[in-house]
Structure 1
Amino acid sequence: MKQSKDKSLAVAYFLLVTCGFLGIHRFYLGKNISGILFIILSYSYLPFTPAIIFVGIWLIIDIFLLPTLVKSTNSLKHATCDPI
């Protein structure tokens, strides 16, 4: 069985900076529900709504939260891996 590589913090930051408003960094880390929520909130089509402000604040929080998210994703992956 092929093991997938650990998630990279550099890649996660790159995704956050380039297309964070779409939640791609969340999808990369396996946080699909929050990634979908990012998309829904980002495409509310009403500029300067509370949803857009919320996404901006969430992205700022994710800048500081990303190292912990990457570490927890990688440790969870190693805990569920069954070596034969």
Structure 2
Amino acid sequence: MKIRVSLWLTICLFLMMVLAGVASSCVGYFMGSEALKVVTQPDINTEDNNRNQDPAGGEYKGLKIMKEKDILVKVYNRVNHKN
């Protein structure tokens, strides 16, 4: 019994959809795991006054906090073309 061409095309389309789903899930998993590497658990003891603790994972590679005054000065200078 011969299998029709439309059945072969349906099987190929189904396999391509499954492979695309697997590839998408792998990319999402690896991107999510990289994004969560710098996330640390908050301190359990809130009475501890040591706020300058290093993250548990080692050197902090994520967001650098800037002072609001520095940002406003840069914006003002850029708007008014001052150096």
Normalised-by-shorter TM-score class: under 0.3
Larger radius of gyration: 2
Question: TM-score, normalization: structure 1?
Answer: 0.25
* Structure in which a larger fraction of residues adopt helix: 1
Q: Which has the higher contact order (CA 8 A, sep 6+)?
A: 1
Normalising by structure 2, report the TM-score.
0.25
